[in-house]
Amino acid sequence: MKLASLKDGSRDGRLVVVSTDLTRCVPATGIAPTLQAALDRWDQTEPALRALAQRLDAGGCGDEAEVFHPIACHSPLPRAYQWADGSAYVNHVELVRRARGAELPDSFWTDPLIYQGGSDSFLDPMGPIEAASEDWGIDLEAEIAVITGDVPMGVTPEAARNCIRLVMLVNDVSLRNLIPAELAKGFGFFQSKPSSAFSPVAVTPDELGAAWDGGRVHLPLRSSINGHVLGVPNAGVDMTFDFPTLIAHAAKTRKLAAGSIIGSGTVSNRDAGGGPGRPVADGGVGYSCLAEVRMIETLLHGKPRTPFLRFGDQVRIEMLDAQGRSIFGAIEQVVARHRP
């Protein structure tokens, strides 16, 4: 089952069920007005939504069905009550640290790193990434995220597997040049992590078929900038902490309410030889953010060569199934100057 929130002038959009091939959709507002409302009563709404999805995919729904336009979409949850982003690809973390000469503590391989994100106003999947200045060091971070049901405090990773309701893609926009000073203050990210964007469609794990093992998505995540492929790392590879482990970490001292979004962190694969990944142009799987490109350049050449994103640059993030079909629709955003 695939779900989306179409823009209708309201803050949360209107819930639609989308066909597996992403060509058509049908209003689901008779079942739940919004995706959050559906998640709030998932036991009741899920069967009805699935029945509607089956009818749609079978060619039913008649006049009720509409053509599905990703540009009409908000992020599946246009605003959410919880957005916690892990950094589960420890390879990525190790690279960032190495580029600035810092050691990776051993505990980072066993104790998940997670940051509390802001969730009051996500970007649209095909909306602009607005920034007041290119000097902020605007970067993408291509990631996978899950949306949970209610998660009790102290949940085990095993029990957390059953709390995963939906899967989607994320562009965790990052302002690299604001990060060092902000992290030095000791309280984590705030200004350096502005609003994120999510894929047009969120899907139930069964839509991923064999690519979903209950904790990871075993498919390449394709990122490109201005039409050039930046990376196609496999999201199932080198993910040190799977989603149930991240959820259990987030719920250690608190419960998480239905509709909580848990991110994987930037998808990042090592090279076959165990070293840092190589660029796509050199036969590698590339990268999911420019920071990683610049780190590799710093390691190789002493300083970065690739600039961060500039006004007018286009970012595209997508995941295709084994048959080459888009699963979530594409995040496709252009960086724009913010004018107050």
* Smallest separation, CB 25 to its own copies (Å): 25
Note the helical H segments in the chain: 35-40, 42-57, 90-99, 157-160, 179-184, 243-250, 290-301
* Smallest separation, CB 130 to its own copies (Å): 7
Task: Closer to its own copies by CB, 15 or 319: give it.
Answer: 15
DSSP for 265-330, please give it.
-S-----TTSSSPPPGGGTS-B-SSHHHHHHHHHHHHSS--S----TT-EEEEE-B-TTS-BSS--
Site string for its own copies, 96-135 (x = CB under 8 A): ------------x--x-xxxxxxxxx--------xxx---
Radius of gyration of the chain (CA): 19
Which one of 58, 101, 253, 324 is in contact with its own copies (CB under 8 A)?
253
Judged by CB under 8 A, the stretch of 17-25, 181-189, 217-225, 276-284 that binds its own copies is 181-189
Closest listed residue to residue 270, CA positions, set 289, 287, 282: 287
Judged by CB under 8 A, the stretch of 44-52, 79-87, 201-209, 295-303 that binds its own copies is 79-87
Residues 29-46 as b or e (16 or more Cβ within 10 Å = b)? eebbebbbebbbebeebb
Task: Closer to its own copies by CB, 254 or 325: give it.
Answer: 254
Judged by CB under 8 A, the stretch of 1-9, 26-34, 64-72, 185-193 that binds its own copies is 185-193
Q: Are 143 and 263 in contact (CB under 8 A)?
A: yes
* Smallest separation, CB 333 to its own copies (Å): 15
Distances (CA, A) of 129 to 121, 138, 156, 312: 12, 9, 37, 10
* Smallest separation, CB 285 to its own copies (Å): 26
Task: Closer to its own copies by CB, 189 or 212: give it.
Answer: 189
5 binds its own copies (CB under 8 A): no
Task: Closer to its own copies by CB, 108 or 311: give it.
Answer: 108
Site string for its own copies, 128-167 (x = CB under 8 A): --xxx---x---------------xxx-------------
Closest listed residue to residue 320, CA positions, set 208, 245, 231: 208
Chain residues 25-54 in contact with its own copies, contact rule CB under 8 A: 40
- DSSP secondary structure letter of residue 96: H
Residue type, 205: P
* Smallest separation, CB 68 to its own copies (Å): 26
Chain residues 268-327 in contact with its own copies, contact rule CB under 8 A: none
* Smallest separation, CB 117 to its own copies (Å): 7
Closest listed residue to residue 194, CA positions, set 155, 246, 240, 138: 138
Residue 243, classed as helix, strand or coil, is helix
Q: Are 190 and 115 in contact (CB under 8 A)?
A: no
For residue 129, list its beta bridge partners.
335
Q: CB-based contacts of 47: which residues, under 8 Å, 6+ apart?
A: none
Which residue ranges make up the site for its own copies (CB under 8 A)? 11, 40, 79-82, 84, 87, 108, 111, 113-121, 130-132, 136, 152-154, 175, 178, 183, 185-195, 249-250, 252-257, 259-260, 338, 340
